[in-house]
Amino acid sequence: PVEWTDQGMAAVEIFRAPKRGYGVRRAGAELPAGTLLARAGTYVSPALVAVFAATGIGHVVVRPSPRVVIVATGDELVDVGRGSQPGQVVDANSHALTAAAAEAGALAYRVGICDDDPEGLRGLLEDQTLRADLIITTGGTGTGPGDMVRRILSRREGGRAGPVTFTEVALYPGTALGFGTVGAEEVPVVCLPGEPGAALIGFEVLARPAIQLLAGAEPVFRPSVRAHLLETVSSPAGLREFRPAHVAERRGGGYTVQPLAGGPFTLSGLAEANGLLVLGERVTTAAAGSTVDVLLLDRRR
């Protein structure tokens, strides 16, 4: 039984201590009255829910999980499980980006493949603005005649620039990205490349921080560490490379980082990675034994 009070923790809480029967804790023994329980931007974990309940707090104001819609574009795409013909590509991106958005804390919705039909794409995006806090597209960000996403969303109307800006960024892999708003509700949109590895790197750099911001999280970026590089790597000049890597803690403190497959093979590298090795625009070669920046991904690997 628990006798509740508004002066901190429970006034008298009976609990079962391991191998010692029952014990009694006094009010305020663990958290004195006036203790700050959580700052703005804190993720509400199961343990924090218990702390709120034990201190008599029945309601807290939180940011809801943002609703994120993922759209893959391209006439050449076919869905997973269907046989592809010459010139066709299996849609891996929308599945990967939906999983990435869910991992970032969003309510992620995959709406499937949209053909390169201007009216169909406009209608789909307009329809999704009614239910989305953020829209992510993949494919069609280049400058070719078939890159329909760029052609439609960057089109000038009434002498004004389109609602989405497409630009070349100093990012490797994947330099062509778009960002802006769509629809009357001005829902944010991030347009990522069609190459799967570049799409996932673009998500990490642009879309994931946006999801964290919409959720009210602090900080919005991945944690980073400085690590000793185990293997010499090269990087393209003028571009900031985010390369898949495996990070490990060293005995006595610090970290080591082993580069994994990057460039055109980034997707297979990401499947094994628990970090992203960051090589700046001026770095063309990073020697083994040097200290580099690494963003930490899933530390369970």
User: What sign does the dihedral 266-269-274-276 (CA atoms) show?
Assistant: negative
Report whether 210 contacts 188 (CB < 8 A). yes
pLDDT at 197: 95
Mean pLDDT of 243-260: 95
Range scoring the smallest mean pLDDT among 19-33, 77-91, 218-232: 19-33
CA–CA gap between residue 286 and residue 276 (Å, rounded): 15
* pLDDT tens sequence across 167-183: 999 999 988 999 999 98
Domain limits of the chain?
2-54, 67-214, 224-296
Q: Determine the 3-state secondary structure of 241 from DSSP.
A: strand
pLDDT at 40: 85
- In angstroms, the Cα distances linking 248 to 56, 160, 196 are 42, 51, 26
Mean pLDDT of the chain: 87
Helix (H) or strand (E) holding 15: strand 12-17
The pLDDT-based confidence of 157 (bands split at 50, 70, 90) is low
Mean pLDDT of 36-57: 90
Is domain 67-214 classified as CATH 1.10.10.60?
no
Residue in this structure with the two tokens 């570049």, named with its chain if needed: 198
Q: Which residue has the higher pLDDT, 82 or 39?
A: 39
pLDDT at 152: 85
User: What sign does the dihedral 170-174-176-178 (CA atoms) show?
Assistant: negative
Tokens found for residue 174: 């994947």
Give start and end residues of each alpha helix (H) in the chain: 46-54, 93-103, 118-128, 148-153, 196-202, 208-214, 266-272
Range scoring the smallest mean pLDDT among 110-119, 205-214, 266-275: 110-119
Is the per-residue pLDDT at 100 higher than 60? Answer: yes
End-to-end CA distance of the chain: 42
* pLDDT tens sequence across 5-41: 344 443 334 444 445 455 567 778 888 888 999 988 8
The pLDDT-based confidence of 77 (bands split at 50, 70, 90) is very high
Architecture of the domain delimited by 224-296: Beta Barrel (2.40)
Percent of the chain's residues with pLDDT above 70: 89
Residue in this structure with the two tokens 């590509």, named with its chain if needed: 89
Is the per-residue pLDDT at 221 higher than 90? Answer: yes
pLDDT at 206: 92
Reference 148, options 109, 122, 111, 182; nearest CA is 122
Is the per-residue pLDDT at 211 higher than 50? Answer: yes
Largest CA distance in the chain: 78
Q: Which residue has the higher pLDDT, 5 or 296?
A: 296
What residues have CB less than 8 Å from 134, skipping those under 6 apart? Answer: 66, 67, 68, 69, 106, 187, 188, 189, 190, 207, 210, 211, 214
β-strands 233-234, 285-286 pairing: antiparallel
pTM over 0.85: no
Percent of the chain's residues with pLDDT above 90: 59
* b/e map 156-181, b = 16+ CB within 10 Å: eeeeeebebebeeeebbbbbbbbbbe
CA–CA gap between residue 56 and residue 52 (Å, rounded): 6
pLDDT at 259: 97
Range scoring the smallest mean pLDDT among 27-36, 240-249, 289-298: 27-36
